[in-house]
């Protein structure tokens, strides 16, 4: 799939729906524990998301929440490949993303029908991932991630969050890191127009940095790549509103709306029906044409 043929960047923001085939998602929506048949449940969720207006369906089999246990590749592959295959059979025209940093898992998902790779480590965790993505010619989402597995804070009510490392100039370092991820992907053979950048809301950033990242997202547009933002239900919303993950719908809506205003090309969300409406309304507002005053020529 070629991004430029499927998406017209700059005309509207697109919605990516999260399909967690995990038992330990931070947001409590993991299908591997909440459903008797995770594949059927994921397929049904994908159909619902598609009907609700999702542009991309993002399938993941390993939780990235702070404190999550790392999976082995075989377990992750067993979780995601049947789901991707089922969604592809049911929704032949859907854009399916595989949320994985493992090359063998991602390639198996591509073989099962996935169209693109969403890598929270920006193709850097697995040395062969970038070469595989280039060989397959697929789009990639490269996320900025300075989180560390053992460096987290836990609140009994609000959940866990990653500690932030020391930054000098936060935005300058963020932009430089994203630029480096893109350059490395291109050097491996990934086409520039197949790259989407994700600044990594919630991954190794303070509350203030997460808020500023969204409020000043437009500063990253100069990098020249489409931008994906994933604020949905995250701990920074809980910290502002003092609410657990299952009560962050309104906070997510505010973060999504501002992300659209500041230039997000894709927002990654759990609540597709509600957030698609937020995105569509925000798009209509910011792209409205000026209305001439009465009596104007």
One DSSP character per residue, 31-99 reads: HHHH-SSHHHHHHHHHHHHHHTT-SEEEEESS--STTPPPPPHHHHHHHHHHHHHHHHHH-TT--EEEE
Percent with pLDDT over 90 in the chain: 80
Strands 152-155 and 159-162: antiparallel
pTM: 0.91
Cross-strand bridge partners of residue 292: none
Does the structure show a pLDDT above 90 at 64? no
* Residues classed as catalytic: 234, 268
Structure tokens belonging to residue 140: 């990639």
> What are the φ/ψ torsions at residue 264 (nearest 5 degrees)?
-65, 135
Residue 238 to residues 125, 181, 248: CA-CA distances in angstroms? 29, 30, 7
Structure tokens belonging to residue 274: 């509600």
Structure tokens belonging to residue 167: 């930054």
The arithmetic mean of pLDDT across residues 36-63, rounded, is 94
> How confident is residue 289, by pLDDT bands cut at 50, 70 and 90?
confident
> How confident is residue 63, by pLDDT bands cut at 50, 70 and 90?
confident
**Contact between 249 and 210 (Cβ < 8 Å):** no
The arithmetic mean of pLDDT across residues 184-190, rounded, is 98
pLDDT score recorded for residue 154: 60
Comparing 66 with 287, the larger pLDDT belongs to 287
Does the structure show a pLDDT above 70 at 34? no
3-state SS, residue 203: coil
> How confident is residue 102, by pLDDT bands cut at 50, 70 and 90?
very high
pLDDT score recorded for residue 19: 96
The kind and range of the H/E element at 190 are none
Residue partners of 230: CB distance under 8 A and separation at least 6:
16, 198, 201, 202, 267, 268, 269
Helix, strand, coil shares of the chain, percent, nearest 5, are 45, 15, 40
**Contact between 16 and 228 (Cβ < 8 Å):** yes
Mean pLDDT of the chain: 90
CA–CA dist 191, 108 (Å, integer): 21
CA–CA dist 107, 278 (Å, integer): 34
Structure tokens belonging to residue 191: 């086409």
What's the CATH architecture for 3-7+14-286?
A: Alpha-Beta Barrel (3.20)
> What are the φ/ψ torsions at residue 81 (nearest 5 degrees)?
-60, -50
CA–CA dist 198, 127 (Å, integer): 20
> How confident is residue 148, by pLDDT bands cut at 50, 70 and 90?
low
């Amino acid at each position: 799939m070629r991004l430029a043929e499927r998406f017209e960047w700059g005309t509207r923001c697109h919605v990516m729906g999260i399909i967690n085939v995990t038992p330990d998602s931070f947001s409590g929506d993991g299908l591997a524990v909440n459903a008797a048949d995770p594949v059927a449940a994921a397929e049904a969720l994908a159909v619902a998301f598609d009907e609700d207006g999702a542009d991309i369906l993002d399938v993941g089999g390993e939780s990235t929440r702070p404190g999550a246990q790392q999976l082995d590749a075989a377990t992750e592959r067993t979780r995601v490949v049947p789901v991707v295959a089922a969604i592809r059979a049911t929704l032949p025209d859907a854009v399916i993303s595989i949320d994985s940093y493992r090359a063998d898992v991602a390639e198996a998902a591509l073989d099962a029908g996935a169209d693109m790779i969403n890598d929270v480590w920006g193709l850097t965790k697995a040395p062969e991932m970038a070469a595989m993505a280039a060989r397959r010619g697929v789009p990639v989402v490269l996320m900025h991630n300075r989180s560390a597995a053992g460096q987290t804070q836990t609140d009994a009510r609000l959940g866990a969050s990653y500690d932030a490392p020391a930054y000098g100039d936060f935005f300058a370092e963020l932009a430089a890191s994203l630029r480096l991820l893109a350059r490395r992907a291109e050097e491996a053979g990934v086409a520039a127009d197949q790259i989407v950048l994700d600044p990594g809301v919630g991954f190794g950033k303070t509350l203030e940095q997460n808020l500023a990242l969204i409020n000043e997202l437009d500063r990253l547009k100069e990098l020249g790549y489409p931008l994906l933002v994933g604020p949905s239900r995250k701990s920074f919303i809980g910290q502002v509103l003092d609410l657990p993950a299952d009560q962050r719908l309104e906070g997510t809506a505010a973060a999504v709306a501002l992300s659209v205003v500041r230039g997000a090309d894709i927002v990654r969300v759990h609540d597709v029906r509600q957030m698609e409406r937020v995105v569509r309304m925000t798009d209509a507002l910011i792209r409205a044409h000026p209305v001439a005053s009465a009596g104007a020529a």
